[in-house]
Amino acid sequence: MEDRRKPAFLSLSLLEARASSRVSVSNLEIEGPVTTVPARLYRPKGTTSANVPLLIYLHFGGCVLGDLDTCHTACSLISEQSGCLVLSVAYRLAPEHQFPAALEDTLAAFRWVRTNAHSIGADPTCVAIGGDSAGGYLALAASLCLRDQQQDMPRLQLLIYPVVDMDRRAMPITPYDRNYPLSRADMIWFAEQYMRAPVDAYDPRCSVGRAKSLSGLPPTIMVHAGNDVLLPEGQALGERLAREGNSVTTLNYPSLPHAFTAMSGGVPRAREALVEIANTLSAHIKASAQGRIER
């Protein structure tokens, strides 16, 4: 799998900016369900408070590709602009570790942060979760699991063009099916690697859009890229979240493609979008802390 994984990011790396120099970065390991899970903590320089809001961030890559470097620049920029700590998590990847391994690591990361928040300077009562593409799927799946288990949930979820359904062959044709850098064929391949068997697609922990209810979830920042095979399902998800009583703030970027979070060096609008996402995150966390956003 390593030969297949590496080339997928060569072209995107040409568009990536350098990470922000205004954050400190430290690598650490968190206790996972099977083994330790690598993670990377971003802290805005000059932060003096011992109880800073924290965003758990999960990278894109179809739960098959990616590592802590995949969203390194994006995480640093979000931390700098939002004033939040950001914890990037290198969850286990398929096909070596198929569903639900990545989700199990995501849940372990959330629980680890809640338990160990003070040791890293985070506020245990203000932990958000988010990610892009597959990372967005994992964030929402984790919220659904925590809700169903009647456990403490994230303060907020940041869903950047999330994957909603893993049965890609059953998805309607879209005008974006052959777009760069993610096509319908790519999504079919990712799903085949991630699932143990086609029946997994019926599990709402795998296909979050199949949950019987999306009510009772954290306030959501939903981000759409206009030139994206995942746009229609993302729009439908955002509408359903709002319809079922959740607070939803939508950010639309019609001119940007999928994976724009990794294009902040070569595409000025991509960097602007990341700054807007970070500012929206900061505003929502402040409002939530003041009790203006209901869970």
> Is 26 part of the annotated catalytic residue set?
no
> Strand, coil or helix: what is 223?
strand
Which position among 133, 207, 247, 288 bears the catalytic label?
Answer: 133
Amino acid at 221: I
Say how far apart CA 270 and CA 253 lie, in whole Å: 9
103 exposed, middle or buried (CB, 10 Å; 0-12, 13-18, 19+)? buried
Rounded to the nearest 10 degrees, what angle do helices 268-289 and 72-82 cross at? 50
Which position among 207, 258, 264, 284 bears the catalytic label?
Answer: 258
CA 197 to chain centroid:
24
> Is 133 part of the annotated catalytic residue set?
yes
Which position among 165, 186, 200, 228 bears the catalytic label?
Answer: 228
Amino acid at 94: A
* Apex 210 CA angle, 229 and 59, nearest 5: 50
Long-range Cβ contact pairs of 165-174 (< 8 A, separation 24 or more)? 165/201, 165/207, 165/208, 165/209, 165/210, 165/233, 166/191, 166/194, 166/195, 166/200, 166/201, 166/206, 166/207, 167/191, 167/198, 167/201, 167/207, 171/233, 172/232, 174/229, 174/231, 174/232
233: closest CA among 198, 184, 294? 184
> Is 118 part of the annotated catalytic residue set?
no
Active site (catalytic) residues = 133, 228, 258
